[in-house]
Structures are given as C-alpha cells and as structure tokens.
Structure 1
Amino acid sequence: MRIAFVSNVCYPFVTGGAEKRIHEIGTRLADRGHEVTLYSRHFWDGPEEITHEGMTLRAVAPEADLYAEDRRSITEALDFAARALPPLRRRLRNDEHDVVVASVFPYFPVLSTKLASLRTDTPVVTTWHEVWGDYWEEYLGRLAPFGKVTERVTAHTPQHPTAISAITADRLAAIGPDRDDIEIVPNGIDVEQVRTAPRPDQGYDVLFAGRLIEHKNVDVLLEAFDAVAADHDATLGIIGDGPESDRLEAKHTELAHADRVEMLGFLDDYEDVLGHMRAADVFASPSTREGFGITFLEAMAADCTVIAADHPESAADEVIADAGFCVAPTADALAERLDAALGGARPPTAPAEHAEQYDWDAIAAQAETAYQRAIDGAW
C-alpha cells in the first residue's frame, strides 16, 4: 500500500498522543514494506522532505504555534488545512497514494483532505480520538456553537471512520455516521520500552502523569492521598504541567502530609515517565474525560495497580477492563481504593498481561487491515 497520513504535528519533533500514534503505526507499516508518507508542518531541521525511520516526512506548511492561551489555535488549524490542500490534491490526482489517513482533531485538515481526494479513487480514512459534543461549551464558551457545528460537519463528511475506543465510536455515531460503519482501532504502547525503561533514583508509591487540567481531577487525588498517606507511609509523585499547576501547588502546600507529595512538573524524557511508572506500586488518575487513556496502559505494562474514574465521559473502564479499578471520581471513593491498593489489593487480571494486547505491533496490524479494506471497497 501507498499510505499518506495528514497531521499538522509530527512525532518526535512534537510530542503528543495523536502524532505518536501515526509514528508508531507508520514506522511499523513501513517496516512491512508499505510506502508511508506524512504531510505535516515543518517541525524538523533540514529540507522540506526527509526520510525518518522509514517514513517520508513532507512539509506542506511552516512550523507554527499550536496553542493560543492554553487552547488549540483555530487559526493554526485553518492555515495548515489551506496550505495542505494544493500539494495533497496534486499528488492524489497523480495517483501517488492508495489511501489517505487524516487525524481528528483538529477538524479542518479532514475537510481539506476530502476536498483533495475529490475526482480520485483514493479513500479517506479518519482517526477520531475524541468527540467533544457539549464539552465545547466548557472549552470555547460563547464560541461553542462554532466548535459543535465544525465537529458535526466533519462527522458528516464522506469518510471511512475509525475510532480509538467504543465510547468514541458511540459518540461519533450520535452526530454522524452509522455505528456499524465505524471501525475501532485503539491506541497502543511499546510494551518492551515500558518494561526496560530505567528506574529513577527516587520513586513514589503512588504516581500520576498527565496534563494538569481541570477534568484530570488531580485536586481530588491530592485530597484522597492525604487521607491515607500516613497509614501506609506512602509517597505521591505528580508528573505534568498545565493551566492548573499554580492552583494544585497551592493545594499541595495545604495538605496535612505535604512532605509526602512532590510536584515533578513536565519531564522532557518520555522514558523518565515510564521509569517512574516501573518504580510505583499504584498509578492513579481520576480523570473524568478520557477518549482512550494511554497512560493507563503504560502503567499496567509497568505492572502498576491502576485506579481510574468511573465516568460516562471516560473510556477508562473499556481500556482497563478487570486489570485495574474504576471508582467514582470523589475523594472518599478514591481514598478507599488507594487504601486497599497500598495494602496490597490487586485486580483480578494481571495488569502487565492485559497490556500486551495493546502493543503497537498488534495495533499496526489492525490499522493495516482497516486501510486495505478501505482501498478494496470492502468497508
């Protein structure tokens, strides 16, 4: 297959879940003999087109800031979509790709990818990481109708949709394509990389890793941990930064057992995060909004007891199954489960064993099958 990915960001030059997914799947498909090209912004040094780990990286727009005041920039997404359209359309009309895979979110590159594919036989496959729906009101305020309309227009654009979880597929079906037309191709992890990551000099009994934003509920974790820390002589490490950093640091200093908690900030080296997971006994993240939850899988691969939130806006229960625990996102419920986990309670299924089915090799094989079905018209 000749596969083209379209994404305004490119791993490892920009680090994030969506771009890492493209990298992990793309490099593996290239190793299997497929021709893989990524159309992206020019985040790397050197010429506009390079070969990186078997993939062709083709810059169709210059490097740009992705965020404006802690929110993804709408103008950046529009600019990338507009710049990507002409070169992609030219190459599709020259029959250079068999399938194009566009990542959602943002939405505008999906629309320009579809425009580029008109009057060609090249199918457009989309990867839906989340469907925001009413969350737009919290994210954009008075501009929420603009976000909702854009999301719905994208959902109704002719495409071969994949979703990273069943909950995302269900949400997508509620605003666009039939549920039976949506294939689930989950995110993955490099199990071997997790299991061989070097442990830190100082580890923590309980660990959180993620962006410090409101729906992650790190304040709930701090309160819950404070309630049980002394009983288990336990420590807590918080990895990450974000708009909630200052507020959470203030709450941290007010804890009765503040000396048992360390705010580690953002760690530049991904393997340092994995190493902390290997050193921890418990990974806790009471986030109420997770389109997938890759950190849960990483922590399970590191053999942590994972505690997540049981919430209708989170796919945590789908990802974790019975290899971890999902509780109400309250301090009392989380404290009770932390107390049990620190006391040695383990889930019915071994976390490390459960995580193996999400290794990137297996996920790349699922993606390969989905792309071929789109090309064959069997979707």
Structure 2
Amino acid sequence: MTNIAFVSNVLYPFITGGAEKRIYEIGKRLTNQAHDVTIYGRHYWDGPMEMTYEGMTLRAVSPERELYTNDDGRRSITEALEFSKDVVVPLRRHIDEHDVVVASVFPYFPVLATKLASLRTNTPLVTTWHEVWRTYWEDYLGYLAPFGKTFEYATARVPQHPIAVSKLTGSRLAEIGPKQSNIRTVPNGIDYEQIRNTPPAEDGFDILFAGRLIEDKRVDILLRAFEEVASDETTLGIIGDGPEREELETLAGSLTMAEQITFTGFLEEYDDVLAQMRTASIFATPSTREGFGITAAEAMAADCIVIGADHPDSAVGEVIGDAGFLAEPTVDGVAIVLDEVLAGTQPSTDPLERAKRFDWDQVADDALEAYRAAAAGEW
C-alpha cells in the first residue's frame, strides 16, 4: 500500500477542469486498490474541513475563493499566493504520513510551497506538467510576461520528479529545467466505457468542436473552412464559451452556411458533451496550443474521426496518431482535410482502438508506477 498526497487548490467535481479531474480519476482508482489518497485543497464543499469522498481524504487548508480575476478572466495571482501560503503548515504537519506528494504545476506557487513543506524529509515531490508556456507568457500577460517566465523557470529548476502529460510538454520542460531522461510521460485519460455507453444526442451535428472559445483554439479557421466545403445538409456544432464567442458568432452569421452552424454555449453536464460526440462523425480541433488534447481522445472513444492542427505547439498529433488527421492550421489547410474526410477518407488506425490506451485505468496504473519509483528512490 502506498500513501499518496495531492496538492491542488481546486478539487473535482466541485470545480471542473482538466488538472483537477486527473487527480480525481487517478485518486479514486488508487483508493479502490487500497492505497491511501489525501488531497490538500480549498474548501469548495459543504461540510467539515476534512472529509472522505469516494475513498479519498479531502483536507481543506484554505477557504473557497474565486479563481479568476473579474477584469480579464485570467487566473488570479493573489489566489494562488494565498493558497500556497495556507498549504505549507498543514502539509508539513502531515508530510511524514505520505510516501509521496504530487503537485500539479500551474499556477506554480503551490509547487514551491509543497517543496518548502517537504524540505529535509524523506517524502519526494512529484510534479505534473500539463503545459510549458515559455514565450506564450507574452501573449497571456503582456508586459508582465517576465514575471510568469521567471516563476515557470524557477519551478522547473526545483528538485523534483517531473511527469509530463505528453512528449511535447516533456521536451519543452527539458529546455528550461530537468534532464529529458528524468522526465516521465503519463498522459491524461478518459473513461472509455462511460463514453461508449453514453447514448447519442438526438439533436446532434455532423461536425463538432468542443472547447473554450479563445484565440488559440482557432475556431475562426474552422468556421471559414466549413464554409468552403460543407454541403447544404452538413451541420457544425460549436460547444463551449469564452471571450471570443461574440466575435465568432458574428463571423458565423456572415457566412452563407450560417443556418447550419450552431453555438450551444457551455454544456453543464459532461454526458451532454459526450452525447454530442457520439452523434458527430467528425471532431475538428484546429487549436495551435495543446499540451495534450483530451477532447481528441474523448472524441476518438466516441468513434469520431479527429482533425487536429499540425503545429509545433500542439500535442494533438501524439494523441490521435494514425487514428485521425492533422491539417495545417489555415483555412485552406483545414478545408482540404475536412473535405477529404467528408468524402469518406478513413484513417489507417481505428479511433476506438487508439482511444483505449488513454483509459483512466491504464493512466492510474502508469501514475502509480511513477509514484512508487519516486518513493523508492528508483527514479
């Protein structure tokens, strides 16, 4: 039996997001295997500061707080700093109970706090890197970019056992910190059976996009490419919300295919998103910045043919392999591939078979192997 602690200011399902869902899915599977799992986070649930949830111990070390700033929708720096300050003493008090402590990297400060709490102890620090931003900080923070770059670099240089969710993220991490040989890859996961057992939506679409409506997702390219190649019967669904939504809806409204394009907004129920994937035949995600690409894995499990972006900042190609297609992230590039798939071109590998390798059961086993290696000093 292994005693594992996770440090994350947000906890699934009280807050929904990729990093916290990864902890939840891995954690509940490890508890089912009789391992002890404790998650240190904010108090987002009703009830006592410490409780058992699906076999895991949830230990609140800081009160509930809004994660994003009101003015620009970016993650709050003061929130991350406050949580980091609050987690040090409780984690230090219990650190000897844990064989390993795992911290998700973004927003960096909790990693530094976790390292501080584990100094001069035998409990190793494992980090999970979902992305490495480097120059993207300039787009995200503007003149404050040096601040973000400095903390990303400092976090990468902290003694740690790093896990990257993709080889792309691992290679980017190696450029600023740990040696490539010291970085393990454990991908994000999906619940394959849940996806396969979800009934298709009755009001679905032929082509689907799902994700946050931000510039990097390049939904504008998808809309224009759809205009180029879609027939009068082909439909496109855009699931998600974000700062680009109004502009994208205006663009869609200007197209001749406008009546065949639907913006659904954010779907509160995850099963509703899966149902849409189960109905669609094509999942198009021309995003130029993906540290992994979980929606691509989900879409493959739903038996969609995935079209991703052939871009150096996107790891979607790692996810889909030969079970989908990559397109140059331009209108012409996406239109060419979209037209071929609409005409019946099939990938050489079955998307369903490819998707199985990302099932959470396999991911949890791989993660446990990494945690045990760190605890045993074999990493």
Q: What range is the shorter-chain TM-score in?
A: over 0.9
Describe the superposition over 1:151-184 as per-residue Cα deviations: whole angstroms up to 9, x where unpaired: 0000000100000000000000000010000000
Give, in angstroms, the shift of residue 230 of structure 1.
2.1
- 1:289 equivalent in structure 2: 289
Give, in angstroms, the shift of residue 149 of structure 1.
0.4
1:230 aligned counterpart, secondary structure:
coil
Q: Contact conserved, 1:209 with 1:239, CA < 8 A, in 2?
A: yes
Structure 2, gaps ≥5 residues long: none
Which of 72, 76, 80 is residue 75 of structure 2 equivalent to? 72
Amino acid at match of 2:64: E
1:1-379 matches, within 5 Å, as: 1-68=2-69, 69-92=72-95, 95-230=96-231, 233-379=233-379
Q: Contact conserved, 1:198 with 1:272, CA < 8 A, in 2?
A: no
Q: Contact conserved, 1:101 with 1:125, CA < 8 A, in 2?
A: yes
Alpha-carbon distance in 2 for matches of 1:228, 1:321: 25
Alpha-carbon distance in 1 for matches of 2:336, 2:234: 14
Q: Structure 1-normalised TM-score?
A: 0.98
Give, in angstroms, the shift of residue 198 of structure 1.
2.5
Alpha-carbon distance in 2 for matches of 1:30, 1:344: 44
Describe the superposition over 1:107-140 as per-residue Cα deviations: whole angstroms up to 9, x where unpaired: 0000000000012100000000000000000000
Alpha-carbon distance in 1 for matches of 2:109, 2:215: 26
Q: Contact conserved, 1:206 with 1:236, CA < 8 A, in 2?
A: yes
1:237 aligned counterpart, secondary structure:
strand
Describe the superposition over 1:14-72 as per-residue Cα deviations: whole angstroms up to 9, x where unpaired: 00000000000000000001000000001111111111111111100011111112111
Alpha-carbon distance in 1 for matches of 2:271, 2:250: 28
Alpha-carbon distance in 1 for matches of 2:224, 2:121: 57
* Matched positions, count: 376
Alpha-carbon distance in 2 for matches of 1:269, 1:21: 18
Describe the superposition over 1:253-302 as per-residue Cα deviations: whole angstroms up to 9, x where unpaired: 10111000000000000010000000000000100000000000000000
Give, in angstroms, the shift of residue 216 of structure 1.
0.2
Amino acid at match of 2:325: F
Alpha-carbon distance in 2 for matches of 1:119, 1:336: 58
1:322 aligned counterpart, secondary structure:
helix
Alpha-carbon distance in 2 for matches of 1:52, 1:366: 23
Counting aligned pairs with the same residue, the percent is 62
Alpha-carbon distance in 1 for matches of 2:122, 2:337: 53
Alpha-carbon distance in 1 for matches of 2:76, 2:307: 33
Alpha-carbon distance in 2 for matches of 1:115, 1:2: 19
Alpha-carbon distance in 2 for matches of 1:124, 1:274: 35
2:357 aligned counterpart, secondary structure:
helix
Q: Contact conserved, 1:305 with 1:351, CA < 8 A, in 2?
A: yes
Amino acid at match of 2:83: F
Once the two structures are overlaid, the 10-residue window that deviates more, 221-230 or 291-300, is 221-230
Question: Which contiguous aligned blocks of 4+ residues in structure 1 show a shift greater than 4 angstroms?
Answer: none
Amino acid at match of 1:173: A
1:47 aligned counterpart, secondary structure:
coil
1:283 aligned counterpart, secondary structure:
strand
Describe the superposition over 1:49-103 as per-residue Cα deviations: whole angstroms up to 9, x where unpaired: 11111111110001111111211111111110000011001111xx211100000
Amino acid at match of 2:130: H
